[in-house]
Amino acid sequence: MAMTMTQKILAAHAGKDSVKAGELITARLDLVLGNDITSPLAISEFEKIGAGKVFDNEKIALVPDHFCPNKDIKSAQQAKDVREFAKKYAIKNYFEVGQMGIEHALLPEKGLVTAGDVVIGADSHTCTYGALGAFSTGIGSTDMAAGMATGELWFKVPDAIKVILTGKPAKKVSGKDVILHLIGLIGVDGARYMSLEFTGDGIDALSMDDRFTIANMAIEAGAKNGIFPVDGKTLEYINAHSTKPHTVYAADTDAPYAQVVEIDLASLDYTVACPHLPSNTKTVKNLGDIKIDQVVIGSCTNGRIEDLRAAAEIMKGKKIAGGVRCIVFPATQKIYLQAIAEGLIQTMVEFGAAVSTPTCGPCLGGHMGILAKGEKCVATTNRNFIGRMGHIESEVYLASPAVAAASAITGKISAPEEVSK
């Protein structure tokens, strides 16, 4: 039976020769992830079922990153609950303040995810790891508890959309523009409970950071997961970060797809998602004059080193617009250190930006950048729902780091070329 890449991974982890879309299976897990918001409930459920021990203390990752460093007493208690659970069950991959990063950047960096893995995380953007050729998806806290106890979880095998990428994007057009364009094409429910399977010669033009960004936002089209084929760039990244064994899966040439979408990367322009949906997309040149109050550069979507380089290149030698706040969140401590070594942080501080320790911070309206009533923000984050970053009457515009940096200079949503003259 012909299968997609996702279906082959799930079949292997279910101990089956083949699976088909809609089939219910139980699959073996390679990693279970939780953070400081979702893990406390999972821990509570884990204790209720009387599991007594985790299935494998090396295959669970706990990363307090959403409200950490703790913003208040409640968040401090949540972090404490996770810390004590990690100690009780000798969880090897527990990363706290000073060692942590934003979870979906940290786990690949630490080599905890590799090609062919099945990964679940009690966070919707767990689909990020599809960039490495893994099946990874977000689940609820109760499923996380079951996964920690048994090392298995049930899945409905997803159907798939084949996304064929061709051509090469313009210099400052990035993976963020690609995924925003795709979500604009198919809608926030266009891939509901399906796998977005990326293919085509255009993938060669995308860096690993681009691919992480694209896979990260698969959920914003309703997808169960997003996944890229394993090529030379993937293997280079895996070999540089992980000692885990990996398995490369590839879709059959006659694999069944519910839909095929083709995107010529050369035709893409800077794309922005306007309030209040990631699918409400327009190119920057078609936006009009939108003044802003804040810029956020970072998150699990765009806080990697290439993102910081793109922003710093535009900021260098310039000053932030009056009345605009700019906050930068490197995604991990390693990325932070690399940005310091490359002079990127100095450029950003001299520009007028505030640089934070790695944290999810304002992305979910957590802390360190909350919006007031009527304020507008350009953010490199992944969601712009009503009230996502603060007041319900604030507005969030999703964009690439290049557009975000340019906008911080002009005080309105702008293309990089507008400030490079």
* Chain segment 225-276, per-residue pLDDT in tens: 999 999 999 999 999 999 999 999 999 999 999 999 999 999 999 999 999 9
Model confidence at 87: pLDDT above 80: yes
Top-confidence residue, 365 or 161: 161
Confidence of residue 420 (pLDDT cuts 50, 70, 90): confident
Mean of pLDDT values over 14-19: 97
What secondary structure letter does DSSP report for 332? B
- The two structure tokens encoding residue 306: 């290439």
Give me the residue spans of the domains in the chain.
11-15+20-263, 272-413
Establish how many alpha carbons lie within 13 A of residue 125's alpha carbon, considering only the half-sphere containing its beta carbon.
Answer: 23
Mean pLDDT, the chain, integer: 96
Model confidence at 99: pLDDT above 90: no
Model pTM score: 0.95
Residue reference for tokens 């950071």 = 209
Residue reference for tokens 């210099």 = 171
Rounded to an integer, what distance in angstroms lies between the CA atom of residue 161 and that of residue 226? 10
Do 11-15+20-263 and 272-413 have matching folds? yes
pLDDT tens digits, 194-223: 999 999 999 999 999 999 999 999 999 999
Alpha helix stretches (DSSP H) within 193-298: 208-216, 232-241
Q: Specify burial of residue 373 (Cβ count, 10 A radius: 0-12, 13-18, 19+).
A: exposed
Question: Which whole-number Å values give the CA distances from 309 to 103, 304, 329, in the listed order?
Answer: 21, 9, 13
Mean of pLDDT values over 45-49: 94
Are the C-beta atoms of 184 and 273 separated by less than 8 Å? yes
Tell me the one-letter amino acid at 175.
G
Q: What is the pLDDT of residue 1?
A: 86
Are the C-beta atoms of 223 and 255 separated by less than 8 Å? no
Q: What is the pLDDT of residue 296?
A: 97
Confidence of residue 359 (pLDDT cuts 50, 70, 90): very high
Q: What is the pLDDT of residue 255?
A: 96
Which residues touch 344 (CB under 8 Å, ≥6 apart)? 308, 309, 311, 312
- State residue 269 phi and psi, 5-degree precision: -125, 175
- The two structure tokens encoding residue 246: 């990996």
Rounded to an integer, what distance in angstroms lies between the CA atom of residue 64 and that of residue 21? 35
Q: What is the pLDDT of residue 364?
A: 87
pLDDT tens digits, 377-391: 999 999 999 999 999
Are the C-beta atoms of 211 and 131 separated by less than 8 Å? yes
Reference 213, options 70, 381, 78, 95; nearest CA is 381
Model confidence at 180: pLDDT above 70: yes
Model confidence at 150: pLDDT above 90: yes
Homologous superfamily (CATH) for 272-413: Aconitase, domain 3 (3.30.499.10)
Rounded to an integer, what distance in angstroms lies between the CA atom of residue 410 and that of residue 284? 13
Homologous superfamily (CATH) for 11-15+20-263: Aconitase, domain 3 (3.30.499.10)
Pairing state between β 281-283 and 294-298? unpaired
Q: What is the pLDDT of residue 421?
A: 57
Rounded to an integer, what distance in angstroms lies between the CA atom of residue 13 and that of residue 252? 18
Model confidence at 137: pLDDT above 60: yes
Model confidence at 83: pLDDT above 80: yes
Top-confidence residue, 362 or 28: 28
pLDDT tens digits, 100-129: 899 999 999 999 999 999 999 999 999 999
Q: What is the pLDDT of residue 198?
A: 98
